Amino acid sequence: MYTKYYGLAKKPFALTPDPAVVFMSETHQEGLAILKYGILSKKCFLVLTADVGSGKTTLLQALVSSLEQDVHLCLLNNPILYRDEFFSYIAKKLDLHWDGNKAMFLIEFGNLLKQCYEKDERVLLIFDEAHVLPVDLLEEIRLLSNLEEKGQDVLSIFLVGQPELNERMSDDRLLPLRQRIGIRFHLSTFTLEETRQYILFRLRHAGARHFNIFSEEAIAAVHRVSKGTPRLINIICDHALLTGFAEGNPVIGAELIEESVEDLHFPGEGTPLPVGRSEKIQSWQWPILGGLVLVILLGVTVWLKYFHG
């Protein structure tokens, strides 16, 4: 494995988010501050959008780990649920009873809000991947906020998803929900300098003894291709280290990054499919195609003979 070759204790660019290794860019720090403010501001509804792989899951993990004990949390990562499953999940996360009776659930949820108000506690509902929530469930979420009595202001609801969430929210049926959104924030991708800091941060936490593994030109190439998206940075850098190890390159340069991108066939980069592979497939396909044609012709001949006979 390339880790030993580059003097690393572990792979620095793992795709699975590690709560112990969290890089907070300027926009991530701003996003975290806004999420925390959303809990305390009594705005009720907050919408956070981010492109795929931009680090919203990491941001939510950072928020959850920073919550005080007086916050009752329900974090829903998979919103593709039927209505009964939806309420059952919320009930379980908030230690409420659910027997399939929505009316009883709403009574219990309302009582929870009242108790939290009396104890100066908060209730936080976070719906990740909210851009795939059907309109009827988004409306159910809005109706939950109606259970707060005037002046309580203990409930915060975060809708988190890809930019398509804004399109979903434009539905005329969701006008009452849109009117309740108090905070909107879009999580930007990394700048070039943040991409550089992120790569060095990852190498440092992987035990790197020196930080010139990636040349400045390579870092610029990574940023250009990934457009500052953390997940794509991880994919490119991991593949580049593997390729560099295989080719015996102690320093990853821009050319090696371009080679890795070609291997990965990143969409939008205009990378052609390997011509050699296509020609190879065509060469061994001819006998098979010829055999299939022969079988079809024989079948047709037999059928015609049988039909006319």
CA distance 204 to 199: 9
Fold for 191-264, please state it.
Helicase, Ruva Protein; domain 3 (1.10.8)
Residue spans of the chain under pLDDT 50: 269-289, 293, 300, 302-304, 307
Q: Which amino acid is at 6?
A: Y
Q: With contact defined as beta carbons under 8 Å apart, do 230 and 255 qualify?
A: no
CA distance 54 to 267: 17
Token match 């969290």: residue? 22
CATH of domain 26-187: 3.40.50.300
Portions of the chain given CATH number 1.10.8: 191-264
pLDDT digits 0-9 by tens, 189-212 = 999 999 999 999 999 999 998 889
CA distance 280 to 283: 5
pLDDT digits 0-9 by tens, 160-169 = 999 999 999 9
Q: With contact defined as beta carbons under 8 Å apart, do 179 and 1 qualify?
A: no
Portions of the chain given CATH number 3.40.50.300: 26-187
Q: How far is CA 230 from the centre of its chain?
A: 10
For the chain, the three-class secondary structure string (H helix, E strand, C coil) is CHHHHCCCCCCCCCCCCCCCCCCCCHHHHHHHHHHHHHHHCCCCEEEEEECCCCCHHHHHHHHHHHCCCCEEEEEECCCCCCHHHHHHHHHHHCCCCCCCCHHHHHHHHHHHHHHHHHHCCEEEEEECCHHHCCHHHHHHHHHHHCCCCCCCCCEEEEEEECCHHHHHHCCHHHHHHHCCEEEEEEECCCCHHHHHHHHHHHHHHCCCCCCCCECHHHHHHHHHHHCCCHHHHHHHHHHHHHHHHHHCCCCECHHHHHHHHHHHCCCCCCCCCCHHHHHHHHHHHHHHHHHHHHHHHHHHHHHHHHHHC
At 78, list the tokens. 């998979």
pLDDT digits 0-9 by tens, 124-180 = 999 999 999 999 999 999 999 999 888 778 999 999 999 999 999 999 999 999 999
Question: Whole-model pTM?
Answer: 0.80
pLDDT, position 298: 57
pLDDT, position 292: 53
